Amino acid sequence: MAPEWILAAEVVYVLFVIAVCLRIIYDTRSVSKTLAYLLLVIFVPIAGIVLYFSFGINYRVRKIYNKKIISDDIQYQQLKSRIELGSQKAIQDINPHLKKYSKIARLLLNSNLSGLSGNNQVQLLFNGEEKFPEVIKALKAAKHHIHMEYYIFEDEVIGQAIKEVLIEKAKEGVQVRFIYDDFGSRSIRKKIVPELRAAGVQAFPFFKIFFILLANRLNYRNHRKIIIVDGHIAFTGGINISDRYINDAEHPGEIYWRDTHIKIVGPAVHHLQHLFISDWNFCADENLEIQHAFFEDCADANSDVEVQIAASGPDSDHPTILFNLIQAIGMADEEILITTPYFIPGNTLLDALYVAALSDVKIKLLVPYKSDSMWVAAAARSYYQELLNVGVEIFMYKKGFIHAKTMVIDDGLSFIGTANMDERSFELNFEVNTVVYDQGIARQLKNAFYNDLNETIRVDAERWAKRSSWAQLPEKIARLFSPLL
């Protein structure tokens, strides 16, 4: 190549790098993430640019995911008014013991139109051995529709069992709609999905990956786990459809998976239904409009649990789940119990924990002893010393892998969901958490937390501080890249 062409190519490349850097500065909300991407693009020629376009574009800013539950603006305004009025009434009627959390309810109502609803039945389901029998029972009883949305659906024993139920119900005339993440559920693309479609199940990938090595879509995952049956029963939480979540005699020698899911019967199901229909209208060939059968009156006079759904993703105006957790931490008076498999909190959440701990709120953090991601685990450990310094107690679960994503505030507020305490869940993934304003559920979740502590080792603050610099180096390096993990 002639020297003048080499010079011209270098000039074009430099101009392109400058253009990409300007895009990073304008697009990226987080300062630390902006700096990380700038360094990557400037100091890693070509590959850095490819990585940014594959993983770094801020879709919350660009609104690529423009989803609407209904296409008619008048109907939408009517729906919005109904949710706001119902939620305001529920806030006024909230249990006096939980009245102090009404600001959390208002935050969710204002940030993503998630109403607070009372008269719900709530059942905690621990691990796959408790979840899957309840799910199959509910699916088999479906009369009108089944709506299902999953990050991971694997072609294994439980996946096959649920597939057969879906096919059976579709043949009976039940409307069955299934959204699967094209990355997390890639094992079902060639066999299970065609079988479902052949039987009459409508099945669509949430965001289809066309070129997996350079796919920005790979970075924006639908991490939600939702099942809705006939508009009045719903399941959501941390447990995917996979055999690994079942701990019984049929799975000898496999690692023990500890996770938490939730079953809801009542009006709160309608808010999960809203979320599902929005996701469906984004990814499916069908524009699914509001139907009365999707929102049956399901209030139960014997139920009095207040529930709210917190959802966020690149389609939302704000990182609603992050805001929700920060506000709840700030309202704690006595105790915060956090369980998460991946802990890369970012500065905002970290500061909220510092403030709470320095205000004499007892904070316990439960994380895995061994993670399924070496880099994520190293990045998480880099935060431990700072937390230990302000009195946070950290426990590492040794019995197996703890995958639950829960938080309990004092004895009255509970969070059960799909979102990890990391920046990926807060900024990149489509997530959903259930907020339960109930002392009974909080006590159950608190008891489960303390039972899990029997299978842990506590991180000793003094010994942790005395670790060698070489032991800490991989953690410091991983932390530099934590916004990208």
> How remote is the C-alpha of 422 from its chain's centroid?
10
Position 87 in a domain: no
- Active-site annotation holds for 223: yes
- Specify whether 225 is catalytic: yes
Total residue count of the chain as it appears in this document = 485
CA distance 393 to 389: 10
Catalytic residue among 181, 261, 405, 452: 405
The tens digit of pLDDT for each residue in 101-131 reads: 888 888 888 776 677 888 899 999 999 999 9
- Please check whether residue 436 lies inside any domain of the structure: yes
* The domain boundary residue, chosen from 269, 304, 339: 304
DSSP string, 175-191: EEEEEE-TTTTGGGTTT
> Do the domain assignments include residue 394?
yes
300 is an active site residue: no
Average pLDDT over residues 296-302: 64
Residue 96 in domain: no
Angle, alpha carbons 389-259-59 (nearest 5°): 75
Residues 158 and 278 in one domain: yes
Could you tell me the CATH number of the domain that includes residue 351? 3.30.870.10
Residues 131, 147, 223, 274: which is the catalytic one? 223
Same domain, 349 and 441: yes
Q: Is residue 369 a contact partner of residue 401, using CB atoms and an 8 Å limit?
A: no
Q: Supply the mean pLDDT for the chain.
A: 84
Listed in order, strand segments (DSSP E) in 221-334 are 226-229, 233-237, 256-258, 260-265, 305-312
User: Both 377 and 299 in a single domain?
Assistant: no
Catalytic residue among 163, 225, 232, 274: 225
Q: Do residues 364 and 390 share a domain?
A: yes
Q: Do 157 and 256 belong to one domain?
A: yes
In this predicted model, what pLDDT tens digit does every residue of 223-263 receive, in sequence order?
999 999 999 999 999 999 999 999 876 655 578 999 999 99
**pLDDT, tens digit, for every residue of 367-397?**
999 877 777 888 888 889 999 999 999 999 9
Residue 406 lies in a domain: yes
- Phi/psi at 396 (nearest 5 deg)? -110, 125
pLDDT value, residue 213: 47
Q: Is 286 in the same domain as 406?
A: no
Query: Of 304, 331, 359, which marks where a domain is finished?
Result: 304
Domain extent, residue 21, equals: 3-57
Q: Are residues 280 and 401 in the same domain?
A: no
Give yes or no: residues 300 and 269 share one domain.
yes
Strand pairing report for 145-150 and 226-229: antiparallel
In a domain, 76, yes or no: no
What is the distance of C-alpha 445 from the center of its chain? Answer: 18
- Amino acid letter for position 261: H
The whole-model pTM stands at: 0.86
Q: State whether 298 and 351 are in the same domain.
A: no
230 shares a domain with 174: yes
Q: Is 410 in the active site? A: yes
298, part of any domain: yes
Contacts of 123 (CB under 8 A, 6+ apart): 134, 262, 263
Query: Distance (Å, rounded) from C-alpha 283 to C-alpha 295?
Result: 21
Same domain as 270, residue 368: no
**Least confident piece of the model among 229-233, 291-295, 438-442:** 291-295
- Domain membership flag for residue 67: no
Residue 282's pLDDT is what? 85
Same domain for 339 and 275?
no
Count the domains in the chain. 3
The token pair that represents 20 in the structure block: 């990409």
Q: Per the residue annotation, which of 410, 422, 438, 452 is the catalytic one?
A: 410
